[in-house]
Amino acid sequence: MKQREKLYEGKAKIIYATDDPNLVIQYFKDDATAFDGIKKGTIVDKGVINNHVSTKIFQYLEDKGVKTHFVELLSDREMLVKNLEIIPVEVVFRNVAAGSLCKRLGIEEGKHLDPCIQEFFYKSDPLHDPMINESHIKTFEWATEAEVVTLKSEGAKVNQLLMEFFKARGIRLVDFKLEFGRNQGDVLLGDEISPDGCRLWDWETGEKMDKDRFRFSLGSVEEKYQEVYNLVCGEGK
């Protein structure tokens, strides 16, 4: 697979074209940002870890019947994926209260959420990803009614599957963000599934093992990402 021109560079990843218009390469960087890019830094080997962790999780989800953009792992930092027309909506699932939910509604961090909470955010850096609801999505035609049904149903299925996946590895899946896109008439799960976009707590101790360690300068950032890698992908890289 020949790598061609850079199509897009985001905060944590670069997308390159290939000689097949239906396929692109997702390159994982070590760059880390938080609070709308106000905090910037590097998490050493994050790109390698997130690429391998996402690969393992996409393969698991595909095995369980979830359609994703994943095609194959190309190298430590490169993943071959299907070219998506991104739906500009972030789908968040919350199983335990944390982050913006606590801030917005004054809920105590750590409260078990049953049933889980599902939220939509509009993917827009200049607007700081504002929270939206289904009627915004339909009126502004960010997705069709049928696509919204898919985002909710596939998202809920992914939440169930990921909760089981992480629980079996001693990790509590607190919350996470999904992105979807269109490809040849299908809606596919895109982006990455890694400690950058999921809150992951040690099942026993409650210790944070995700990007909140970077966001809030909690220390041991690389060590905790490595721990997630070891639990998800097995010992040794």
- What is the smallest separation between the CB atom of 4 and ligand 5GP, expressed in angstroms? 26
Is the separation of the CB atoms in 9 and 29 below 8 Å? Answer: no
* Interface characters, 45-84, with ligand 5GP (x: CB under 6 A): ----------------------------------------
Phi, then psi, of 108 in degrees rounded to 5 = -70, 135
Give DSSP secondary structure letters for the chain: --EEEEEEE-SSEEEEEESSTTEEEEEE-SEEEETTTTEEEE-TTHHHHHHHHHHHHHHHHHHTT--BSEEEE-SSSEEEEE--EE-SEEEEEEEE--HHHHHHH-PPTT-EEEEEEEEEEE--TTTT--EE-HHHHHHTTSS-HHHHHHHHHHHHHHHHHHHHHHHTTTEEEEEEEE-EEEETTEEEE-S--STTTEEEEETTT--B-STHHHHTT-S-HHHHHHHHHHHHH-S--
How would you classify the pairing of strands 198-202 and 171-178?
antiparallel
Q: Residue 72 or residue 125: which is nearer to ligand 5GP going by CB?
A: 125
Q: Residue 78 or residue 196: which is nearer to ligand 5GP going by CB?
A: 196
Q: Which residue in 78, 90, 154, 227 binds ligand 5GP (CB under 6 A)?
A: 90
Q: Which residue in 165, 196, 224, 225 binds ligand 5GP (CB under 6 A)?
A: 196
Count of residues in the chain: 237
- What is the smallest separation between the CB atom of 127 and ligand 5GP, expressed in angstroms? 12
Q: Which residue in 47, 155, 181, 197 binds ligand 5GP (CB under 6 A)?
A: 197
How many binding residues for ligand 5GP (CB under 6 A)? Answer: 14
Q: Residue 22 or residue 169: which is nearer to ligand 5GP going by CB?
A: 169
- What is the smallest separation between the CB atom of 48 and ligand 5GP, expressed in angstroms? 17
Report if residue 179 touches ligand 5GP, rule: CB under 6 A: no
Q: Residue 22 or residue 217: which is nearer to ligand 5GP going by CB?
A: 217
* Interface characters, 138-167, with ligand 5GP (x: CB under 6 A): ------------------------------
Report if residue 99 touches ligand 5GP, rule: CB under 6 A: yes
How many Å apart are CA 180 and CA 147, to the nearest integer? Answer: 10
Report if residue 129 touches ligand 5GP, rule: CB under 6 A: yes
- What is the smallest separation between the CB atom of 108 and ligand 5GP, expressed in angstroms? 14
> Which residues here bind ligand 5GP, judged by CB under 6 A?
90, 92, 99-101, 129, 175-177, 196-199, 211
